[in-house]
A and B are shown apart, each in its own frame.
Chain A
Amino acid sequence: MDLKIQTKNLDFYYGEVQALRRVTLEVKEHQITALIGPSGCGKTTFLRTLNRMNDIIPRSRLEGEVLLDGQNIYDNGVDVVEVRKRVGMVFQQPNPFPKSIYENVAFGSKMLGMNHSAVLDEVVEKSLRQAALWDEVKDDLKRSALMLSGGQQQRLCIARVLAVEPEVILMDEPCSALDPAATLKIEELMQELKKEYTIVIVTHNMQQAARVSDLTGFFLLGELVEYGTTGELFSRPRDRRTEDYITGRFG
């Protein structure tokens, strides 16, 4: 299995507060990597370092390396816009723009200067199909995205990411605002998507991590305590703290 992303001794600070400590982790291509841990453990912070979304936080600081296909995305001269096109992100709260369904999906392509409507139509349809939303919305793509249900909105956000053809998709607790049925749909979708994309998902829900992921990392107090295949980590955790967490002794 090829390496897609590799972090080396990653430290991250919000002002004086250290949120990540020497995190070294490898994300494999076409696998789903789940990051679990209690609130405030740094898993979301870590996720956001992978496409430089933390850049926009004032007075934050990062040390160490994040290699995407071997290239450090924090090197001078690396175009952050390019990084974010290759590493897309789905957020905790569905956050469609207050625009039509069509405009939401076409957004990324338009930002790239694509204005040919036939091509855009194709991108929109393909992305919505991939996100398993096409059949539900195809009759009225001009409808405002805000009229959709929460689960549909989240799949729309996934379609919006797919439309810019990223290589990696980061998901920050994508189901925490959704009901079980909508959650199931997203989980099924992830299994489809991993054939073409590499997925990293932060989740609060250990069952979800166990269900969907191939590899799991357990974060605690900014450290990556344990990282391995999901089966191993949940059945035979090596670290006492991991065991305590997955058996529900704290969390």
Chain B
Amino acid sequence: MRLSPKLTQRIAWGFIWAAGISAVVILLLIVVYVIARGLPVFGSEFFFSEPKGGISGEGGISSVFVSTIWLIATTMVILIPLGIGAAIYLAEYAPDNWLTRLIRYGVELLAGVPSIVFGLFGFAIFVMALNFSYSILAGALTLACLLLPFLIRSAEEAMKVVPRSYREAALALGATKWQMTKSVVLPAAIPGIITGIILCVGGVVAESACLYVTMGGSAGMPTSFFDGGRSLAVHVFYLAMETNALDKALATGAVLIVLILIINLITRWLAWRFRARMEGKA
């Protein structure tokens, strides 16, 4: 039997529409479920006290939240300059030869290595060999290694799609290669780079196993990045597996979701400001 083009068009449309809608619905269901189950737990005790442990998961998430913020900040401070620097090198400076191809291939390969393998590497190098012990620093360094390939790739992509005509215009005006990169290519690539950074922040927040072996599970309030700490995701894991406080695990999950949302909004706002300044509007 042959279907008329009109009918196949309708079927295809219906299928695509259903797929699109179900993706959104599933996502919403998860978010709504997590927040609805977690919401009753929200309160000053939950937000402003440290976890006290025990089978019923006493206490809140204050120190865990602070540890997570520390971890995000430290990771980004290490990750962003390295990632963007490497991307600039690959996109603008690297000659097209076997070495560059090898580097690119290595980056691709690293992006596919499971995070727990990075965790073991971080444990062996940062925790043991460099003697940082279980600390936010060791966790952040490990996460930076884990996320670096991804950030390099997305930043390089963002720079590569900047039109050649912009580069030629800058060079023809007597700009050096670095001036061209700094004043024309980077501003034009910023939205793509920001998207990469946001996804990396998401990666930091989502990671659990590789942090457990580098940052440890200490629930105390960190005072510097040489202290150990427990990230929100690790805390969720702990609450779910070691206690019967499923509500608190879901509430912590809700905090995670909100945190990612806020970071997303702030980064986008910063990017918008940066771009407006670069384009001379602000």
**Which residues of A come within 8 Å of B, CB atoms?**
51, 53, 56, 58, 81-82, 84-85, 88-89, 91, 93, 95-100, 102-103, 107-108, 110-112, 142, 144, 157, 160-161, 164
**A84, B166: Cβ atoms closer than 8 Å:** no
**Which residues of B come within 8 Å of A, CB atoms?**
96, 163, 165-176, 179, 183-184, 187-188, 278-281
**A81, B176: Cβ atoms closer than 8 Å:** yes
**B280, A53: Cβ atoms closer than 8 Å:** no
**B171, A84: Cβ atoms closer than 8 Å:** yes
Closest to B188 in A: A98
Q: In whole angstroms, how far apart are the Cα atoms of A51 and B173 in the complex?
A: 10
Q: In whole angstroms, how far apart are the Cα atoms of A119 and B7 in the complex?
A: 67
**B175, A111: Cβ atoms closer than 8 Å:** yes
**A99, B280: Cβ atoms closer than 8 Å:** yes
**B279, A144: Cβ atoms closer than 8 Å:** yes
Q: How far is the CB of B50 from chain A (nearest CB, A)?
A: 49
17 pairs from A and B in contact (CB 8 Å cutoff):
A53-B168, A81-B175, A84-B173, A93-B165, A95-B163, A95-B165, A97-B169, A97-B184, A98-B187, A98-B279, A100-B280, A107-B183, A108-B173, A112-B174, A161-B172, A161-B173, A164-B173
Q: How far is the CB of A81 from chain B (nearest CB, A)?
A: 5
Q: In whole angstroms, how far apart are the Cα atoms of A98 and B192 in the complex?
A: 15
Q: In whole angstroms, how far apart are the Cα atoms of A98 and B176 in the complex?
A: 19
Q: How far is the CB of B119 from chain A (nearest CB, A)?
A: 41
Q: In whole angstroms, how far apart are the Cα atoms of A93 and B164 in the complex?
A: 11
Q: In whole angstroms, how far apart are the Cα atoms of A108 and B278 in the complex?
A: 15
**B172, A53: Cβ atoms closer than 8 Å:** yes
Contacts A103-B280, A111-B183: A89 and B172 contacting too (C-beta < 8 A)? yes
Q: Which residues of A contact B168 (CB under 8 A)?
A: 53, 56, 89, 91, 95
Q: In whole angstroms, how far apart are the Cα atoms of A81 and B278 in the complex?
A: 23
Q: In whole angstroms, how far apart are the Cα atoms of A142 and B167 in the complex?
A: 22
The 4 closest A-B pairs by CB, nearest first: A100-B280, A85-B174, A95-B165, A89-B172
Closest to A144 in B: B279
Q: In whole angstroms, how far apart are the Cα atoms of A102 and B173 in the complex?
A: 15
Q: In whole angstroms, how far apart are the Cα atoms of A107 and B182 in the complex?
A: 12
Q: Which residues of A contact B167 (CB under 8 A)?
A: 56
Q: How far is the CB of A172 from chain B (nearest CB, A)?
A: 10
Q: Which residues of A contact B279 (CB under 8 A)?
A: 98-100, 103, 144
Q: How far is the CB of B213 from chain A (nearest CB, A)?
A: 45
Count chain A CB atoms within 10 A of each CB in B96, B280, B281 and give the residue with the most. Answer: B280
Q: Which residues of A contact B179 (CB under 8 A)?
A: 111
Q: Which residues of B contact A160 (CB under 8 A)?
A: 169, 173
Q: Which residues of B contact A142 (CB under 8 A)?
A: 280-281
Q: How far is the CB of B188 from chain A (nearest CB, A)?
A: 6
Q: How far is the CB of A145 from chain B (nearest CB, A)?
A: 9
Q: Which residues of B contact A144 (CB under 8 A)?
A: 279-281
**A95, B278: Cβ atoms closer than 8 Å:** no
**A84, B188: Cβ atoms closer than 8 Å:** no
Q: In whole angstroms, how far apart are the Cα atoms of A107 and B172 in the complex?
A: 11
Contacts A111-B183, A144-B281: A97 and B172 contacting too (C-beta < 8 A)? no
Q: In whole angstroms, how far apart are the Cα atoms of A157 and B169 in the complex?
A: 9
Q: In whole angstroms, how far apart are the Cα atoms of A87 and B14 in the complex?
A: 59
**A107, B173: Cβ atoms closer than 8 Å:** yes
Q: How far is the CB of B192 from chain A (nearest CB, A)?
A: 14
**B172, A51: Cβ atoms closer than 8 Å:** yes
Q: Which residues of A contact B184 (CB under 8 A)?
A: 97
Q: How far is the CB of B252 from chain A (nearest CB, A)?
A: 42
Q: In whole angstroms, how far apart are the Cα atoms of A157 and B173 in the complex?
A: 10
Q: How far is the CB of B183 from chain A (nearest CB, A)?
A: 7
Q: Which residues of A contact B187 (CB under 8 A)?
A: 98-99
Q: In whole angstroms, how far apart are the Cα atoms of A82 and B281 in the complex?
A: 31
Q: Which residues of B contact A84 (CB under 8 A)?
A: 171-174
Q: In whole angstroms, how far apart are the Cα atoms of A93 and B169 in the complex?
A: 11
Q: How far is the CB of B163 from chain A (nearest CB, A)?
A: 8
Q: In whole angstroms, how far apart are the Cα atoms of A176 and B242 in the complex?
A: 72
Q: Which residues of A contact B163 (CB under 8 A)?
A: 95
Contacts A58-B96, A97-B166, A100-B281: A111 and B172 contacting too (C-beta < 8 A)? no
Q: How far is the CB of A121 from chain B (nearest CB, A)?
A: 13
Q: Which residues of A contact B166 (CB under 8 A)?
A: 95, 97-98
